[in-house]
Structure 1
Amino acid sequence: MGDSYVTFLVLGIVLVVVDGQLIYHSGKGYLRRAAAYDDEQVGGMMKLTAVLFHLVVLGLLALVSIINVETGDPVKNVVVKLGIVLLLLALAHGVTMAILARIRDRQLQQQLADQMAEEHRIYEERHAHVGEPRPAPKIESPYSAP
């Protein structure tokens, strides 16, 4: 019992840490491609996201570790528990990626809105004289005295 419990915890922790690092590193590139965040902002957001991911999934791992699975074989018990952890890990990974996609989409929408506002401002500046009375051009008459 003791060896299978420790084996389960070690394998589970390794899986969580590896997946968390994949999320951290790939998420940085994913958010950076939005071109609105600098490296420091991306790094900060991804650190917070990775910490949240690790805490949630390690908490789930701890809960799964105390579930009593009786297959009669300690190896099968570990495999069943790891299967549960992998499913929970996949769910947490998917939720994390959906959150990152939402952050990126909001940032891209904000960039587009800012770009459109800037283009509108430039258009208004260029066409501000339309409708305003302009002074008539001064035409020199050939008959006027110098």
Structure 2
Amino acid sequence: MPDNDLTGFLIIGLVIVLADGQVLYRGARQSLPGPDGGEGTGSMAWPVVTVFHLVAFGVLALLSVVGPQWSGSASALVGRIGVFLLLLAVVHVLTLAVLARSRQDRIVEARFQEREAERTGGEPLTDPTVTPVPGQEGRAPEVSPDLGHHGPYRA
């Protein structure tokens, strides 16, 4: 591929990847709230879209130098862009699957907590319930007691 076609291919590819990444980010930011429940930088959307950009840029770079040596015609440039768009579609679908899985996990967790709150009649439990070890009181014992005070930590 001549240098002019390579530069054109890379510029067109970069613009397409950046536009597709923005579409993914804006959609994911609305559907995946951050840990505090609101939109923003804490959202899972940012890391997922960052990985999308890295993979898409990698595909673009590989496709620009690897593959059949097409002639320097306009049809060769259109062919490379077409192959890139097909690969980008696959990467886009995989990213959407990751975002959908993350959203589904959050929905299931929220419904589970609601169901627990209805069952217990109050707020959902955030601390795990631990059965106390004999000889220690409280919900979260630090270590279990020695058996007959002859444990491995005795001197």
Structure number having the greater helix percentage: 1
Greater than 4 Å deviation, 4+ residue runs = none
- Deviations 1:18-43, CA, capped at 9 Å, x for gaps: 000100011111224xxx832236x5
Query: 5+ residue gaps in structure 1?
Result: 124-146
Q: Name 1:48's counterpart in structure 2.
A: 47
1:30 aligns with 2:35: no
Superposition pairs of residues 1-146 of structure 1, within 5 angstroms:
1-32=2-33, 37-40=37-40, 43-122=42-121
Residue 80 of structure 1 and its aligned partner are, at CA, apart by 1.1
2:32 is paired with a residue whose SS is helix
Query: 5+ residue gaps in structure 2?
Result: 123-155
Quick one: higher RCO (CA 8 Å, sep 6+), 1 or 2? 1
Total equivalences in the alignment: 121
- Deviations 1:83-123, CA, capped at 9 Å, x for gaps: 11101110111011111110011100001100000000018
- Verify the 8 A CA contact 1:5 1:65 in the aligned structure 2: yes
- TM-score, structure 1 normalization: 0.75
Sequence identity percentage: 30
Amino acid at match of 1:92: V
- Deviations 1:12-68, CA, capped at 9 Å, x for gaps: 111000000100011111224xxx832236x54211111111001100100000134
Q: Name 2:151's counterpart in structure 1.
A: none
Amino acid at match of 2:26: H
